Amino acid sequence: MSLKIKFLIFATSWMFFRAIGSAVFLSITILATDSPRSAPPEWIVSLIGDFIVGSMALFLAYYAYKNPTSILWGILLAWNILGIFDLFGAIVLTFIVPYQPLPEIGLNEIGVRTVLSINSLIQISAIIILFNRTTLNYFKVN
């Protein structure tokens, strides 16, 4: 298995952390509405998008490792595009409605933007790798 395929599987698996983080912030928002850690209402759609994208990550990574097919390649492409649009929307949202969920550990406005930017770079890299000849051969896309 080539290094590019390994990175693609890593990048896909990495997005699972989006589900974990958004689940924490959605739970705080639902259970403690008066808490300063609660997400503003404008963030709910972005957090739900993160949860959906992140929840699918481990399943997609598993199938990319065990059963690569051209259909899975298309699903990965669509999933990554959906994920990057969600991340770009969240980055824009940090300027419109700042959210500081846990400033004690660095998740202030800058921390949130940094995490979103790193995830965006990982997801953009995955999209680029999907169009590499080695990857296309791995997924049997002809």
Tokens of residue 7, six digits: 């990175």
Q: How confident is the model at residue 18 (pLDDT cuts 50, 70, 90)?
A: very high
pLDDT in tens, 108-129: 888 889 999 999 999 999 999 9
How far is C-alpha 68 from the geometric centre of its chain's CA atoms?
Answer: 21
What mean pLDDT, rounded, does the chain reach? 91
For residue 53, pLDDT beyond 80 = yes
Q: Give me the percent of the chain exceeding a pLDDT of 90.
A: 69
pLDDT confidence of residue 103: 73
pLDDT in tens, 57-103: 999 999 999 999 999 999 999 999 999 999 999 999 989 988 888 77
pLDDT confidence of residue 104: 74
pLDDT confidence of residue 100: 80
Own/partner contacts of 119-123, CB < 8 Å, gap of 24 or more, are 119/14, 119/15, 119/18, 119/87, 120/84, 120/87, 120/88, 120/91, 122/11, 122/14, 122/15, 123/11, 123/15, 123/80, 123/83, 123/84, 123/87
* Helix (H), strand (E) at residue 140: none
Query: Do residues 25 and 101 make contact, with C-beta atoms less than 8 angstroms apart?
Result: yes
Q: Please state at what angle helix 109-130 crosses helix 70-96, rounded to 10 degrees.
A: 160
pLDDT confidence of residue 118: 95
Average pLDDT over residues 1-19: 94
For residue 137, pLDDT beyond 90 = yes
pLDDT confidence of residue 102: 76
